[in-house]
């Protein structure tokens, strides 16, 4: 298993981590199998989406922030970050990806993203490759 850290600079931010995941696959030496990318935090998530047009990241964050606003009346969590927990649950803590010929089997425009919903922070991502 490989672990790496992501330092975020905003409360809500998507950071592409495709290269770090590829590095973990290379380190594992696996040519064919599965790769699980997992976030160990309750206010962050992992997803796969388009990495060619930065407007996709903008639009995703815009939608999530409109759908789950920070100051939603009725939230009771004492830390004031209920929206972060909800966004993390909606997106999910992990993705499972295929490894083929020693590389991620991603589509042409796909990338792996760490999703920060309660930053800025330093976060941990774990990658497990099984072949």
Owning domain of residue 30: 2-130
Distance CA(12)–CA(65), nearest Å, equals 8
How many domains does one find in the chain? 1
- The first and second tokens of residue 94, run together, are 């992990």
Alpha helices in the chain (DSSP H): 18-28, 54-67, 82-91
The CATH number that applies at residue 25 is: 2.60.120.460
Q: Give residue 65's pLDDT.
A: 98
Rounded to two decimals, the pTM is 0.96
Question: What is the mean predicted confidence (pLDDT) over 74-78?
Answer: 93
Question: What is the mean predicted confidence (pLDDT) over 97-106?
Answer: 98
């Amino acid at each position: 298993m490989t672990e790496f850290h992501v330092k975020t600079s905003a409360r809500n931010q998507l950071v592409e981590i495709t290269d770090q995941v590829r590095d973990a696959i290379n380190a594992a030496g696996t040519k064919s199998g599965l790769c699980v990318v997992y976030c160990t935090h309750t206010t962050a998530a992992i997803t796969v989406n388009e990495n060619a047009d930065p407007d996709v990241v903008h639009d995703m964050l815009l939608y999530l922030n409109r759908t789950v606003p920070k100051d939603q009346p009725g939230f009771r969590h004492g830390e004031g970050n209920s929206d972060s927990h909800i966004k993390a649950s909606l997106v999910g803590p992990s993705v499972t990806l295929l490894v083929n010929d020693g590389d991620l089997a991603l589509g042409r425009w796909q990338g792996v993203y760490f999703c920060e919903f309660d930053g800025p922070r330093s976060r941990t991502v774990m990658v497990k490759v099984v072949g």
